[in-house]
Amino acid sequence: MLWRILGLVTFGAIIVAALAMRGDTLTGVWAGVYLGTVVWMTDSAAFFTGRQIGGEKLAPDISPSKTWSGALGGLALGTGAGLLVWIVATDSPWWIGLILSATISVLGQLGDLSESAIKRHFRIKDSGDIIPGHGGLMDRLDSLTFGVLLVLLVGALHAGYGSVAEGLLYW
């Protein structure tokens, strides 16, 4: 019962965060492009870097195929790609974009590991079978979970709940 309540609260918070980030302006679209770029470039680079370089396992008990080289490759490309979108989308200081991009990249990897830990806890390999061989819908979205919550936190603290995207992108 506790897991179900925790799941509902967590998913509810993620949905609220995504809706608040999107808002009703074009800035919300740019915030989504920024977040998606950081997260999915991190995910892709981690996969390919880990496969090419290999090395020490990141969290073998949770996700045996993830490596430190993959995590660092993901951090590098996700941060760099996020910074590029930041520079294109806003005239805010580049170093704020760098810090936010690196933080979102790390949080994306933590979201991925968290979902893997939950699957291990319940002894299931995939969270769904809509896309065969891809672990289900949650494997496509797990990296966004903590990042979108950070976007909500930063944006709301900076510009208020009604202007989350503006608070994220405009300093």
DSSP string of 155-168, one letter each residue = HHHHH-GGGHHHHH
Q: Say if CB 112 and CB 147 are below 8 A apart.
A: no
Please report which residue ranges of 23-53 form alpha helices under DSSP H.
Answer: 26-53
pLDDT tens profile 72-130: 999 999 999 999 999 999 999 999 999 999 999 999 999 999 888 888 888 876 555 56
User: Is the pTM higher than 0.95?
Assistant: no
Count of domains for the chain: 1
Q: CA nearest 111: which of 29, 17, 24?
A: 17
Task: Give per-residue pLDDT as tens, 50-65.
Answer: 999 999 999 999 988 8
Please report, in angstroms and rounded to a whole number, the separation of the first and last CA atoms in the chain: 43
The residue type found at 152 is L
Average pLDDT over the chain reads 91
Range of the domain at 144: 2-169
What 3-state DSSP class applies to 58?
strand
